[in-house]
Amino acid sequence: MKRTILYVDDEIDNTVVFEAAFEDDFNILLATSGQEALEMLEQTPVPVLVADQRMPQMTGVALFEIVRQRYPHTKRILLTGYTEPEAMLDAINKGQVFQYVKKPWDRATLMSILIRALESHDLELTNSALTDRLVASERSALLGQATARVTHEMSNQLTMLPLIEMIETQYADQEELVEVARFARKMYERLVGLIDEVKAFVRFDAEQMTRQPVRLSEALHELVSFLRFDASIPNEQFTLQIRNDSTVSANKVKIQQLLVNLIKNAAYAIRDRKDGRITVTADTDNGEAVIRIEDNGCGISPENIDRIWEPNFTTKGDEGNGLGLDICKQLVLGHDGRISCTSEDGLGTCFEIRLPLLDPSETAQSEPYGSNASASNEQGNRPIATQEHP
Ligand SMILES: Nc1ncnc2c1ncn2[C@@H]1O[C@H](COP(=O)(O)OP(=O)(O)OP(=O)(O)O)[C@@H](O)[C@H]1O
Ligand SMILES: [Mg+2]
């Protein structure tokens, strides 16, 4: 099946030439203004959009700005006939353009650019589906834990069996009452069955948390290769630094899920910053593996800093569920580690995760999670707690 390419140019002659050049290879859609292109995009998914820069109502770059927000995976190629340094700089800075092509273009060059854009689009979609799955599976794990708690409580409340038995034996001669008791017993058995089913399901989920020796550099590099294609993470603003590599006893996927949550939060925090940066550092300190996720984004206000770990606490309105950090906290605890946050309102935030280094002769030691979230500047070496993990 031919792939779709949308070409936007206010000069009809140009659209005719473009269509003639590529209609054998692609399904070409044509629009003569940015507005018309936007209407078409609403109707049809378009992997690659090619637009002329000079158009009367809406320039190519202005169109790309809107498309980038609405359809982040659509690859955008700008055609320009003039030297328009300002428009170009603008487009580069805003990361809006997959590639420029100077007019007049030749078919072979443009063809190879279109093919590359399609490939890049497809790769990006696959990878962003992967990160989505990472986040989603973590959310379902959290739901699993909540379910486990609820089913446990429900079993505790299911105490009517002795009552039913009492009616069955002591009022055996009262048919109507016995009939009601039989009905109650059936409902009871059904409820117990349901709870057992849910418990079995939740247990299955918990079993997936197996731990193995994980080299942090490897887990981090792999994660970065997923994130490269996640449209919500600005790659050019992201840095990974391995200062000291280490091996920990962990579930690699869970560690990656944990980091995705923190990196997504950082990306959100810098979204309005031109000079925004996210730095992930792996280091060792005081017998622990240390991972820091730092950003120079909006920071967290002192009145919110103690609330960020609460489930459902969010400052993102409809855009957030407030689950990310609760999940992170559970995951770090599940690895006998600690997580803390330091933030300066308006300047940036640093999340620090500490995990015991893998050493078979040592038993894992940690402190309970509780008070670790703090607004203080406690970046220094904290002693390893000597309390056994519950
Ligand atoms: N790097 C950060 N910079 C600034 N604020 C942050 C950062 N990380 C977390 N926060 C604050 O903590 C709140 C809770 O974060 P959390 O990840 O739990 O939920 P969320 O991001 O709002 O929603 P969700 O992760 O469920 O999509 C955020 O709404 C935000 O106010
Ligand atoms: Mg979050």
CA distance 295 to 238: 9
State yes or no: pLDDT of 365 exceeds 70. no
CA distance 168 to 182: 8
More confident residue, 59 or 190: 59
Q: Give the torsion sign (CA, 308, 313, 318, 321).
A: positive
Please name every residue paired with 291 in a beta bridge, in sequence order, or none if there are none: 282, 353
Which of 308, 318, 321 gets mutated to test ligand 1 (max ligand atoms within 8 A of its CB)? 308
Q: What CATH number does the domain located at 212-372 have?
A: 3.30.565.10
State yes or no: pLDDT of 146 exceeds 70. yes
Which ligand lies nearest the alpha carbon of 294?
Answer: 1
Residue 270 near ligand 1, beta carbon < 6 Å: no
State yes or no: pLDDT of 261 exceeds 80. yes
Residue 259 near ligand 1, beta carbon < 6 Å: no
Q: State which residues have CB under 5 angstroms from ligand 2, the bound ion.
A: 265, 324
Give 9's pLDDT tier (boundaries 50, 70, 90).
very high
Please name every residue paired with 341 in a beta bridge, in sequence order, or none if there are none: 351, 373
Query: Which tokens in the block code for residue 72?
Result: 């982040």
State yes or no: pLDDT of 148 exceeds 90. no
State yes or no: pLDDT of 355 exceeds 90. yes
Q: What CATH number does the domain located at 4-126 have?
A: 3.40.50.2300
Residue 324 near ligand 1, beta carbon < 6 Å: yes
State yes or no: pLDDT of 367 exceeds 80. no
Residue 276 near ligand 1, beta carbon < 6 Å: no
Residue 320 near ligand 1, beta carbon < 6 Å: yes
State yes or no: pLDDT of 299 exceeds 50. yes
Q: How far is the CA of 208 from the centre of ligand 1 (A)?
A: 26
pLDDT over 90 percentage in the chain:
46
Q: How far is the CA of 321 from the centre of ligand 1 (A)?
A: 9
Q: How far is the CA of 210 from the centre of ligand 2 (A)?
A: 25
State yes or no: pLDDT of 26 exceeds 90. yes
CA distance 147 to 195: 10
CA distance 197 to 207: 16
Lowest-confidence pick of 120-124, 159-163, 218-222, 367-371:
367-371
State yes or no: pLDDT of 237 exceeds 60. yes
Q: Per-residue pLDDT averaged across 51-76, rounded?
A: 91
CA distance 305 to 385: 23
Q: Per-residue pLDDT averaged across 38-52, rounded?
A: 95
Q: Per-residue pLDDT averaged across 28-44, rounded?
A: 96
Q: What is the pLDDT of residue 82?
A: 66
Give residue limits of the domains in the chain: 4-126, 135-207, 212-372
More confident residue, 283 or 83: 283
State yes or no: pLDDT of 297 exceeds 60. yes
Q: What is the mean pLDDT of the chain?
A: 83
Q: Per-residue pLDDT averaged across 91-116, rounded?
A: 85
State yes or no: pLDDT of 52 exceeds 70. yes
Which of 270, 295, 314, 345 gets mutated to test ligand 1 (max ligand atoms within 8 A of its CB)? 314
Q: What b/e sequence results for 181-217 when a residue is b if at least 16 CB atoms lie within 10 Å of its CB, and e otherwise?
A: beebbeebeeeeeebeebbeebeebeeeeebeebbbe
CA distance 208 to 192: 25
Sheet architecture: strand order including 27-31: 27-31, 4-8, 48-52, 75-80, 99-102
Give 372's pLDDT tier (boundaries 50, 70, 90).
very low
Q: What is the pLDDT of residue 362?
A: 46
Residue nearest to atom 4 of ligand 1 (CA): 299
CB 199 within 8 A of CB 261: no
Q: How far is the CA of 18 from the centre of ligand 2 (A)?
A: 44
Query: Which tokens in the block code for residue 147?
Result: 């379910």
More confident residue, 186 or 241: 241
Express each pLDDT in 166-213 by its tens digit: 888 888 899 888 888 888 888 788 788 777 777 766 665 555 567 899
Lowest-confidence pick of 39-48, 75-84, 381-390:
381-390
